Structure 1
């Protein structure tokens, strides 16, 4: 059985936890994740998407941006790795032997191994997301940045009416917004220049004529193209009309065990661990028992993404928590942002808002 030790990458990029943002940003030209250490002891990871946080400055210390993804062992199976990546929406994971960092495993390496199996020859239409988000070429970069933050995406098609005219990646946003062509180093100038860029239309930085593959292309061949061109996703369609999109998540879900016992995969944002009182197992039990079990037949198959953010206000010993939920299934995508005191109340308020949307959809 193939496990983490068989696809381990020992060449890793590391930074010290006390380094500042300006010392790390250029490293993301060649990686999606950086290992952060304190005196060579593993502390966590800095993900490229963390650079989208609105409060970040050139002087931000890396330890304030840390993500703590699941830790793999050398014997973790490919299926378990796929499950951990999908559930946490993190596609580079550390491999440790007790407290010793051995290296990392990336989604590309997992997918390459998994698609050597029979499923790799099936058409990509069997796993692609058929309800992709998109924006017009005139949409502002600021709005696109907001979508990347809120929807936790890395690849977005640009559509003019019904025609695909471009695409934009998280890497492009990082390059153009956080660094761009200027050499300005002052904090005030950095913030001013960043604000100016956010008002520009996305067509000024989008990739024109993005790769668009047929829905009949095999899963293995689509991933091969994605890897060849170093893309975070691939658009699927015909004659410049978008049919769907595939990213690391869509490749991994069939191998992660979803669809066998549960039809809806639950994903939690990496920052949820910072919310007081949040327990992942309890959250899964709550969401499945009180919410998802009622809509599995309606949704058929899909994902529920949950993101929690804790605020300073306290009531009866519980912090105010804002919960963002995104539920995708065959009928479409449903969004809700609600708040409550404590993570359980915030999640309940959000899924009740989504239930209202689902019931309205059923009536139409």
Structure 2
């Protein structure tokens, strides 16, 4: 099976990172601190149990820094991407890469029955493809050397 046909649920099972979120009223400054601490590039924005948006480092750069706003005085709800584009665990890596490329985004929340079950980044998808290709190469080398 092609790496691009792999379902996102498989990628999520291998991922070790948790799901990090903030409320819409959280300051952008706090979000940037949290992203730096967790070494991530985006946070989900949750209103109770409902996903309402995504805030990324790119949002901060373009909607706070470049507009001369204060990150301590700006709430997430003012700059988050909403409504967020989402995928289901049944979408494939290929589906997600197409969505990310066309929409010019780097993070996709994964929802199942309207509940967040994960988030994938373009880096997660590229890393998956690379590791699968390396495994295929190892198998082919073993097959060729075993002849």
Instruction: Give the alignment partner of residue 75 of structure 2, picking from 191, 194, 201.
Output: 201
CA distances 1:176-213 after superposition (whole Å, capped 9, x unpaired): 22111x5xxxxxxxxxx53xx42332111111110111
* RMSD over equivalenced CA pairs, Å: 2.3
Say if 1:123 and 1:257 are closer, same or farther in 2 by CA, change over 3 A. Answer: closer
Q: Report the TM-score, using the length of structure 2 for normalisation.
A: 0.77
1:225 positional shift: 0.4
1:255 positional shift: 3.6
1:239 positional shift: 4.4
Instruction: Give the alignment partner of residue 9 of structure 2, picking from 125, 131, 140.
Output: 125
Residue 36 of structure 2 is matched in structure 1 by 149
Higher helix content, 1 or 2 = 2
CA contact (8 A) 1:212 1:240 kept: no
Q: Distance in 1 between matches of 2:60 and 2:77?
A: 12
Instruction: Give the alignment partner of residue 101 of structure 2, picking from 222, 227, 238.
Output: 227
Higher strand content, 1 or 2 = 1
- Classify the secondary structure of the residue corresponding to 2:21: coil
Alignment of 1:134 with 2:8, yes or no, is: no
How many residues end up aligned between the 2 structures?
Answer: 131
Instruction: Give the alignment partner of residue 166 of structure 1, picking from 33, 38, 53.
Output: 53
Q: Distance in 2 between matches of 1:234 and 1:257?
A: 20
Q: Distance in 1 between matches of 2:106 and 2:97?
A: 10
CA distances 1:16-66 after superposition (whole Å, capped 9, x unpaired): xxxxxxxxxxxxxxxxxxxxxxxxxxxxxxxxxxxxxxxxxxxxxxxxxxx
Task: For structure 1, list consecutive stretches of 5 or more residues without a partner in the other structure.
Answer: 1-116, 183-192, 261-364
CA distances 1:225-263 after superposition (whole Å, capped 9, x unpaired): 0111000111111343211111123213334449x7xxx
CA distances 1:234-293 after superposition (whole Å, capped 9, x unpaired): 1111343211111123213334449x7xxxxxxxxxxxxxxxxxxxxxxxxxxxxxxxxx
Q: Distance in 2 between matches of 1:255 and 1:241?
A: 26
Say if 1:216 and 1:257 are closer, same or farther in 2 by CA, change over 3 A. Answer: closer
Say if 1:257 and 1:118 are closer, same or farther in 2 by CA, change over 3 A. Answer: closer
Q: Report the TM-score, using the length of structure 1 for normalisation.
A: 0.33
